[in-house]
């Protein structure tokens, strides 16, 4: 019970911090999209789609390995810091050497210097990795949340200043570098330790085996998740990629920022209760409902009101509403299965996770390769279709590797789809009825309509029980926090 309260409190703190971070992300989209064009975003997306592959190997899964470890000595922590930092320097040099190849891949000479400049992210992120892992392991979520908010706020300010002074796509590159640098400074300060010299004779095999297996899974997943950007960039060009990239960042980046902290909270908890199947089942079911009734409902809202939302946030010149709505559907299907990822990591099932990821990734690649023939909308259709087919498979797959019962998860997903679909329908009908109105008027009305549909569903007993259960959990977490504060 104490661990559950800690998880709930941690979830509230982290989600609160991520809420602020998402507001900053949206502000970044709103402000910079009016200063820069699709080509600027397309060039940065081209670099990130290729360079970020090496970011997976830079971490090598060692952050997660440190978080889920039953015991972690200071000597092991120090060695992990040096491993991450050394890999960061190594991949920075590799990225600099490969910069001309990146430019040649896309046929864009400007990418050479962009790749060289953004290679610095490897070093900064490598140095920060174990500090962030340490804050997560010790469940110091308030400090972690502050670090994750301060970095993008300062980075946005610098990027907006640079863009206003004609920096073009370099403003976006500076934004990435500043964010990594600030995150390093803040996280290391809050962690309160400095690495000593690396030590020999310290047991590191378990970390490396776990990390290497997880890195393989992440690489497969990353390649499949970014096949859309690579195909659009190489076949349709920077302009089309920049347009697609704005829809992606407006939706999928904030969604990832909301889902990622749930892993931060769930992983240390599930790692401690993995020997209790009944408690694990209860935690996972509640986690799925919590994600679905919050993120799922929000995704339904923005899918239904995609037109006015994009018009309000991006302004004129960005025809991305259709792509945005399709990505919202894909995000909903991803969310239904996200709890399975927690279980894989908490139980150390990295090999099983890699096997499943191979199957899911192959499905995704096929759907996107077919879709790219029809432009960026076709790519979004393929991406959403892949996740529609994938989510029930993912829950069944994890049930074969653990004692998790899949039936209650399917039923929970059905209720989530009911909520999200009802909210989406209400928002869509409202948006169509107010088609001639300014989006500043239409969007708030769509929110009210979606909220009314959500409230109406409380008449359905299973939905009402889910909401009441979540409300009790949140109240308990808040009461505990107030009593301690």
Question: Does 437 reside within a domain?
Answer: yes
In the three-class reduction of DSSP (H, G, I as helix; E, B as strand; rest coil), residue 431 is classed as helix
Residue with the bigger pLDDT between 269 and 165: it is 165
**DSSP for residue 108:** -
Least confident segment among 28-37, 121-130, 156-165, 320-329: 28-37
Average pLDDT over residues 58-66: 73
Domain assignment present for residue 162? The answer is no
Structural domains in the chain (count): 1
Q: Is 4 helix (H, G, I), strand (E, B) or coil?
A: helix
Residue 287 is predicted with a pLDDT of: 85
Question: How much is the pLDDT for 481?
Answer: 46
- What is the pLDDT at residue 12? 61
- The pLDDT score that the predictor gives to residue 236 is 84
Please indicate, yes or no, if residue 161 is contained in any of the structural domains. Answer: no
Domain membership flag for residue 413? yes
Q: For 268, phi and psi rounded to 5 degrees?
A: -65, -30
Please give the pLDDT value at position 432.
94
**Looking at residues 295-316, what average pLDDT do you find?**
90
Confidence of residue 54 (pLDDT cuts 50, 70, 90): low
Assign 482 a pLDDT band (cuts: 50, 70, 90).
very low
**Of 381, 361, 363, 385, which Cα lies nearest the Cα of 371?**
381
Residue 171 has pLDDT above 90, yes or no: yes
Mean pLDDT value across residues 404-408: 88
Residue 475 lies inside a defined structural domain of this protein:
yes
Q: What pLDDT is stored for residue 484 in this prediction?
A: 46
- Per the listing, tokens 């994890």 go with 398
Residue % of the chain over a pLDDT of 90: 28
Mean predicted confidence (pLDDT) in 184-208: 83
The structure tokens 């797959």 sit at 397
Domain of 269 in residue numbering reads as 254-485
338 close to 262: Cβ distance less than 8 angstroms: yes
The C-alpha atoms of residue 354 and residue 345 are separated, in whole angstroms, by: 11
Average pLDDT for residues 272-301, to the nearest whole number?
87
* Domain membership flag for residue 8: no
Nearest of 111, 472, 430, 145 to residue 286 by alpha carbon: 472
For 32-48, the DSSP string reads: HHTTS-HHHHHHHHHHH
Comparing 113-122, 208-217, 244-253, 409-418, the range with the smallest average pLDDT is 208-217
Q: 329 near 386, Cβ under 8 Å?
A: no
What percent of the chain is modeled with pLDDT above 70? Answer: 88
Q: How far apart are CA 349 and CA 446, in angstroms?
A: 42
pLDDT higher than threshold 80 for residue 2:
no
Q: What is the pLDDT of residue 435?
A: 87
Indicate the pLDDT class of residue 298, thresholds 50, 70 and 90.
very high
What tokens were used for 214? 């997880």
pLDDT of residue 429: 96
Flag the least confident range among 48-62, 111-125, 157-171: 48-62
Under a CB-based contact definition with an 8 Å cutoff, are residues 469 and 286 in contact? Answer: yes
Contact 242/321 with Cβ under 8 angstroms? no
* Residue 417 placed within a domain: yes
For residue 224, being part of any structural domain is answered with no
């Amino acid at each position: 019970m104490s661990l559950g309260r800690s998880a709930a409190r941690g979830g509230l703190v982290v989600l609160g911090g991520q809420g602020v971070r998402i507001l900053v992300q949206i502000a970044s989209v709103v402000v910079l999209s009016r200063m820069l064009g699709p080509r600027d975003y397309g060039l940065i997306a081209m670099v990130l789609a290729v360079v970020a592959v090496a970011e997976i190997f830079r971490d090598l899964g060692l952050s997660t390995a440190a978080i889920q470890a039953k015991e972690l000595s200071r000597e092991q922590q120090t060695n992990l810091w040096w491993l991450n930092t050394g890999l960061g320097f190594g991949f920075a040099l590799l990225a600099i050497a490969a910069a001309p190849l990146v430019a040649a891949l896309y046929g864009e000479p400007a990418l050479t210097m962009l790749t060289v400049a953004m290679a610095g992210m490897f070093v900064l992120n490598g140095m920060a990795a174990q500090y962030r892992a340490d804050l997560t392991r010790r469940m110091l979520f308030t400090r972690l949340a502050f670090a994750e908010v301060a970095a993008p706020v300062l980075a946005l300010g610098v990027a907006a200043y640079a863009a206003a002074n004609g920096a073009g796509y370099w403003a976006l590159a500076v934004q990435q570098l500043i964010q990594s640098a600030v995150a390093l400074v803040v996280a290391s300060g809050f962690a309160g330790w400095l690495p000593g010299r690396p030590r020999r004779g310290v047991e590191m095999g378990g970390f490396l085996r776990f990390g290497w297996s997880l890195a393989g899974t992440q690489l497969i997943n990353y390649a499949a998740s970014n096949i859309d950007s690579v195909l659009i960039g190489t076949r349709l060009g920077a302009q089309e990629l920049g347009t697609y990239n704005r829809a992606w960042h407006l939706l999928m980046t904030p969604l990832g920022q909301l889902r990622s902290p749930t892993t931060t909270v769930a992983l240390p908890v599930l790692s401690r209760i993995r020997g209790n199947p009944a408690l694990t089942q209860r935690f996972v079911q509640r986690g799925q409902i919590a994600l679905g009734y919050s993120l799922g409902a929000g995704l339904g809202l923005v899918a239904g009101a995609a037109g006015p939302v994009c018009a309000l946030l991006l302004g004129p010149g960005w025809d991305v509403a259709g792509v945005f709505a399709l990505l919202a559907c894909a995000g909903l299907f991803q969310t239904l299965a996200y709890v399975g990822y927690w279980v894989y990591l908490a139980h150390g099932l990295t090999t099983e996770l890699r096997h499943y990821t191979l199957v899911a990734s192959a499905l995704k690649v096929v759907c996107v390769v077919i879709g790219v023939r029809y432009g960026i909308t076709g790519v979004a259709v393929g991406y959403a279709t892949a996740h529609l087919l994938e989510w029930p498979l993912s829950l069944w797959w994890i049930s074969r590797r653990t004692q998790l019962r899949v039936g209650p998860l399917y039923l929970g997903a059905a209720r989530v789809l009911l909520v999200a679909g009802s909210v989406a329908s209400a928002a869509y009908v409202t948006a169509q009825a107010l088609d001639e109105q300014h989006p500043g008027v239409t969007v708030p009305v769509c929110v009210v309509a979606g909220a009314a549909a959500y409230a109406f569903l409380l008449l359905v007993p299973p939905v009402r029980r889910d909401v009441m259960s979540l409300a009790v959990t949140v109240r308990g977490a808040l009461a505990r926090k107030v009593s301690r504060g």
